[in-house]
């Protein structure tokens, strides 16, 4: 596809606000914005961060060409001075982010943008849509892969995705979440995610008999013969024909039937019957792949409660669309504004406690115990120093009397500087490195946090100075 200029992929009010800042002479005023989310999708215990690479690429290519400027001029609302500002736009802000593949939790800053307020405002929509969509899919994939209990999971959802962009980027996000491959060929070309697939029912139907279809496929792909056996009758025709092709076509070539796929019917019952038939035919190494509107709950039931004999799951629409919960819910909020060279904290207060923001320029630390298991995350003011040689008091910010004194811990800062004064200083990791990081960090979470239902709440606490600041600001604004 022709490379697109995404500078106007922004909510219109960001442009009207930016124009207002410009007209008020505030275009160079420094602000700090936080990106965070308030609730884990599917009532889960964790989320997986994805989308940083897209945000980096967007910022590096952010420019307003004559075409965009002329379009905005046609709206007859923007000043010529502001349009000239956009024509000469250069991103100069600092961007901090938690790295892709990291487990993340509600209310902690995932991204922090610090710079001229117009710049911060203009990138809001793209930051949110990249992070929200990709984290949603990575989180869903992680949930599905975990319930597969070590069995392979493939992403099969391209044709049901919400757009071609969602299909391509969704496959990348699902790979971060733990799938081993995708049906989407272009995602293999772009990202190196193994593209896998064999045949559809139409292939079988195009031949005069199922056996002829299987024979043709085996002759064409003798090293990778995986046959779809449910076009007509799985147990009475499909599997017997697959075994016959193995014996009559593949064995004389010194090859074996690699696998069969079932795409309909009672997957638990069929998989057990098929496994028995294959084993009786000596095909103990032939794998069974299933698909058909699967999700983490169905996969768990198939494995744990129904003893299904399945080696690989192909998961489509319920993964690529995160069908059970289609919104991640990340938000973008002002947390500080510069006055006379000093960052002054800002807060939004709501009757809904969960919507009262955390003020100030901040950092996030993950605390690990002596066994390298994650204890809690602590949000601090950016310049706070945590002394690992001394005990540290963790407390629930909504119920501060709930305290826990920890010692022998390690505190790791999570926010990494990505852009410094508009210059990219972060070395983008490969997709395989991101995936490996996810696996490593996921292993530091307690099983109670990552269980599918009613997970233990992972604590995200505030440092005492930050909690004091927040309480002081709430009291100050409520008393007005």
Return the pLDDT at 480. 63
Return the pLDDT at 288. 98
% of the chain beyond a pLDDT of 70 = 99
Return the pLDDT at 34. 98
Token digits for 431? 């997709």
* Average pLDDT of the residues in 154-168: 96
Is the confidence at residue 97, as pLDDT, over 60? yes
Token digits for 267? 């997957």
* Average pLDDT of the residues in 93-119: 98
Q: Predicted confidence band at 1 (pLDDT cuts at 50, 70, 90)?
A: very low
Q: What whole-number distance in Å separates Cα of residue 73 and Cα of residue 333?
A: 28
Question: What is the residue-averaged pLDDT of the chain?
Answer: 96
Count the Cβ atoms, other than its own, within 10 Å of residue 232.
14
Would you list the DSSP string of 339-401?
Answer: ETTEEEE-----SSGGGS---SSEEEEEEE-TTS-EEEEEEEETT----TTS-EEEEETTEEE
Helix extents (H) in 38-163: 52-60, 66-74, 80-87, 117-122, 124-147
Closest CA to 52 of 168, 131, 136: 131
Is the confidence at residue 21, as pLDDT, over 80? yes
- Whether 122 and 113 have beta carbons less than 8 Å apart is answered as no
Return the pLDDT at 2. 55
- Whether 143 and 154 have beta carbons less than 8 Å apart is answered as no
pLDDT in tens, 111-153: 999 999 999 999 999 999 999 999 999 999 999 999 999 999 9
Does the domain made of 138-320 have the CATH classification 3.20.20.70? yes
pLDDT in tens, 193-246: 999 999 999 999 999 999 999 999 999 999 999 999 999 999 999 999 999 999
Collapsing DSSP to helix, strand or coil, 155 comes out as strand
Torsion angle, alpha carbons of 163, 164, 166, 172, to 10:
170
Would you list the DSSP string of 260-314?
Answer: EEE-SS-HHHHHHHHHHHHHHTT-TT-EEEE-SS--HHHHHIIIIIT----SEEE
Collapsing DSSP to helix, strand or coil, 52 comes out as helix
Task: Characterize 379-417 residue by residue with b for buried, 16 or more Cβ atoms within 10 angstroms of its Cβ, and e for exposed.
Answer: bbbbeeebeeeeebebbbbeeeeeeeeeeebebeebbee
CATH superfamily of 12-136+328-478: nicotinate phosphoribosyltransferase (3.20.140.10)
Instruction: Give the C-alpha distances (Å, rounded to integers) separating 238 from 209, 215, 265, 365, 387.
Output: 11, 12, 13, 55, 65
Span(s) in the chain for CATH 3.20.20.70: 138-320
**Is residue 202 within a helix (H) or strand (E), and if so which, with residue range?**
helix 201-205
Return the pLDDT at 431. 97
Evaluate the CA torsion angle 414, 420, 424, 427 in order and state its sign: negative
Is the confidence at residue 58, as pLDDT, over 90? yes
pLDDT in tens, 273-300: 999 999 999 999 999 999 999 999 999 9
Return the pLDDT at 478. 78
Q: What whole-number distance in Å separates Cα of residue 243 and Cα of residue 249?
A: 10
Closest CA to 144 of 458, 310, 152: 152
Q: Predicted confidence band at 156 (pLDDT cuts at 50, 70, 90)?
A: very high
Q: What whole-number distance in Å separates Cα of residue 181 and Cα of residue 174?
A: 9
Span(s) in the chain for CATH 3.20.140.10: 12-136+328-478
Is the confidence at residue 169, as pLDDT, over 90? yes
Collapsing DSSP to helix, strand or coil, 48 comes out as strand
pLDDT in tens, 340-391: 999 999 999 988 888 899 999 999 999 999 999 999 999 999 999 999 999 9
Return the pLDDT at 352. 82
């Amino acid at each position: 596809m022709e490379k697109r200029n995404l500078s106007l992929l922004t909510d219109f009010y960001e442009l009207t606000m930016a124009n207002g800042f410009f007209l008020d002479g505030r275009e160079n005023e420094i602000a700090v914005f936080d990106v965070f989310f308030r609730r884990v999708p599917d009532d889960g215990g964790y989320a997986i961060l994805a989308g940083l690479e897209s945000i980096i690429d967007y910022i590096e290519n952010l420019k307003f060409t004559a075409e965009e400027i002329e379009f905005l001029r046609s709206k007859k609302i923007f000043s010529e001075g502001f349009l000239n500002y956009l024509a000469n736009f250069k991103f100069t802000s600092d961007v901090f982010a938690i790295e892709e593949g990291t487990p993340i939790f509600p209310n902690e800053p995932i991204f922090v943008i610090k710079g001229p307020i117009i710049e911060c405002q203009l990138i809001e929509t793209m930051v949110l849509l990249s992070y929200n969509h990709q984290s949603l899919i990575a989180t869903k994939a992680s949930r599905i892969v975990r319930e597969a209990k070590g069995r392979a999971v493939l992403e099969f959802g391209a044709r049901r995705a919400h757009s071609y962009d969602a299909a391509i980027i969704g496959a990348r996000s699902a790979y971060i979440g733990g799938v081993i491959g995708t049906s989407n060929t272009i995602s293999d070309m772009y990202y190196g995610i193994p593209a896998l697939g064999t045949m559809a029912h139409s292939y079988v139907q195009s031949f005069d008999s199922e056996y002829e279809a299987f024979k043709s496929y085996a002759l064409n792909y003798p090293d990778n013969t995986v046959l779809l056996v449910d076009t007509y009758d799985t147990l009475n025709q499909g599997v017997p024909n697959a075994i016959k092709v193995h014996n009559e076509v593949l064995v004389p070539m010194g090859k074996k039937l690699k696998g069969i796929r079932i795409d309909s019917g009672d997957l638990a019952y069929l998989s057990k019957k098929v496994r028995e038939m294959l084993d009786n035919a000596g095909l103990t190494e032939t794998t069974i792949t299933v698909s058909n509107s699967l999700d983490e709950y169905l996969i768990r039931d198939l494995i744990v409660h129904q003893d299904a004999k399945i080696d690989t799951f192909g998961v489509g629409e319920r993964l690529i669309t995160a069908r059970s919960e289609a919104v991640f819910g990340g938000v973008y909020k002002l947390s500080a504004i510069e006055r006379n060279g000093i960052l002054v904290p800002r807060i939004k207060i709501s009757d809904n406690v969960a919507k009262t923001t955390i003020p100030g320029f901040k950092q996030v630390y993950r605390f690990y115990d002596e066994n390298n298991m994650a204890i809690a995350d602590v949000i601090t003011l950016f310049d706070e120093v945590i002394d690992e040689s001394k005990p540290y008091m963790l407390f629930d910010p909504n119920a501060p009397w709930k305290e826990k004194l920890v010692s022998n811990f390690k505190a790791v800062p999570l926010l990494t500087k990505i852009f410094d004064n508009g210059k990219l200083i972060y070395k983008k990791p490969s997709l395989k490195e991101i995936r490996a990081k996810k696996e490593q960090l996921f292993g530091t979470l307690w099983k109670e946090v990552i269980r599918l239902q009613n997970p233990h709440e992972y604590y995200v606490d505030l440092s005492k100075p930050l909690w004091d600041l927040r309480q002081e600001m709430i009291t100050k604004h409520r008393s007005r």
